[in-house]
Homo-oligomer: A and B are copies of this chain.
Amino acid sequence: MKVTIMDVANHANVSKATVSRVINHNPKVANEIRKRVLQSIKELGYRPNAFARNLANNSSNVIGLILPDITNPYFPVIARGIEDAAHQEGFSLFISNTDNSPDIEQEYIQKMAGQQVGGIILISSILDEEKVNELCELKIPFVLCDRFLADTPFDTVSIDHYTASYEAVLHLIGNGHRKICHLSGPSLVQSAEMRRQAYSDAIQEHNLEPCIRVGEFSYESGYQLMTSILKESTPTAVFAANDLMALGAMNAIQEQNLKIPQDISVIGCDDILFAQMSTPKLSTISVPAYQIGVKAVGMLVERIKGKKSAAENLLLEHEFIQRES
């Protein structure tokens, strides 16, 4: 049988109120009694029931994390940052994968809301106006991470995808490349959209020929898109929307016995662990994923505690990392 606060109270010969006070470090409990209660708690192996507690003070110490796919190497780093920060703040972490499906995303948000999470960190696939309104109606704190609409009423943390990508493409152009392709992510994903836009703008401003292929944020997709490109022509550089695609593209390029970077340069984005393990090592845009997670929790907790009013839009620093590709 479970031991309840009542058992402790009886065992220590006090009322449940007193036990509760001891648990919550309420200072106005006589030292002697406090000791007795603590002793009883030990002896009985009492653990307060979190449900009852949360119910009584109408608060929750869990936050939810909804992301596309923990299996994609970019996200575990964010997740880790979130988890570490959350535990630091005394929160537990729910986690859910959406596979970029708006329906699943919706379902999980509802589910978490129903589970009384204190707030949700959302790395959303697709957030349109309508969706945002729905979220507002849930009356739950949200922090949007990594990707989102320009004008949301929520707190956000991310990097400046546009500028980062723009710089990367500029870097290629500066190195004399004139035929630069872009492997883009799913057309509805905001971050993919911004990278694509940055690429287009940079290309246009230099009067170059754009070449965009849209696929998934995966290794296979990168491989396939690149293979299909190589069937038609041979660019001198590729800018991929993320490292996984870049790695896939590299594989496709090498299969055609082309040399990287001599024949084709490749730039990725995210700087996942494996960017530095590939041969040649992948040049990429480094994203402070762990920090994004940490900051997201910081903002969310502030909002949960009601310390914030206006929505904050935080952009962290990115960095172009020149490696061997």
Binding site for B on A (CB under 8 A): 2, 45, 47-52, 54-55, 58, 60, 62, 69-71, 73, 75-77, 79-80, 83-84, 87, 92-97, 108, 111-116, 137, 219, 247, 251, 254, 273-274, 277-279
**Residues of B contacting A94 in the complex (Cβ-Cβ under 8 angstroms):** 62, 92-95
Show 7 A/B contacts (Cβ-Cβ < 8 Å), sorted by A. Answer: A48-B114, A50-B115, A62-B94, A62-B115, A70-B79, A93-B96, A247-B277
A73 with B273: CB separation less than 8 A = yes
**Complex contact A97–B83 (CB within 8 A):** yes
Residues of B within 8 A of A75 (CB): 76
Q: Considering only CB atoms, which chain B residue lies closest to A52 in the complex? A: B55
A80 CB contact (under 8 Å) in B50, B70, B108, B112: B70
Q: Is the CB of A51 within 8 A of B51?
A: yes
Q: In the complex, are the beta carbons of A114 and B55 less than 8 A apart?
A: no
- From B73, B93, B112, B279, give the contact of A73 (CB < 8 A): B73
State the CA gap A74–B278 with chains docked (Å): 18
Q: Are A114 and B47 in contact (CB under 8 A)?
A: yes
Which of A50, A52, A137 gathers most chain B CB within 10 Å? A50
A197 nearest CB across to chain B (Å):
29
Q: A75-B76, A247-B277 provided; 4 other pairs, C-beta below 8 A?
A: A50-B115, A83-B96, A87-B96, A278-B279
A137: B residues at CB distance < 8 A: 45
- Tell me whether B97 and A95 are in contact (CB under 8 A): no
Which of B51, B69, B76 is close to A54, meaning CB atoms less than 8 Å apart? B51
| Nearest neighbor of A83 in chain B, beta-carbon distance | B97
CB distance from A228 to the nearest CB of B (A): 19
A69 nearest in chain B by CB position: B80
**Once the chains are docked, how many angstroms separate the CA of A247 from the CA of B273?**
12
Which residues of B sit under 8 angstroms from A51, Cβ to Cβ?
51-52, 54-55, 60, 116
Chain B residues with CB under 8 Å of A219's CB are 273, 277
4 smallest CB-CB distances across A and B, nearest first, come from A51-B55, A51-B54, A70-B76, A51-B51
In the complex, the chain B residue whose C-beta lies closest to that of A2 is B58
Return A310 CB to nearest CB of chain B, in Å: 23
Q: State in angstroms the CA–CA spacing of A93 and B92 once bound together.
A: 10
CB-CB nearest in chain B for A290: B71
Decide: A112 and B83 in contact? CB cutoff 8 A.
Answer: no
Q: How far, in angstroms, from A273 to B51 measured CA to CA in the complex?
A: 39
A136 → chain B, closest Cβ, in Å?
A: 12
| Docked pose: A83 CA to B93 CA in angstroms | 13
Q: A116-B50, A277-B251 given as contacts; is B77 within 8 A of A92 (CB)?
A: no
Q: Do residues A83 and B70 form an inter-chain contact, with CB atoms below 8 A? A: yes
* A71 and B77 within 8 A (CB): yes
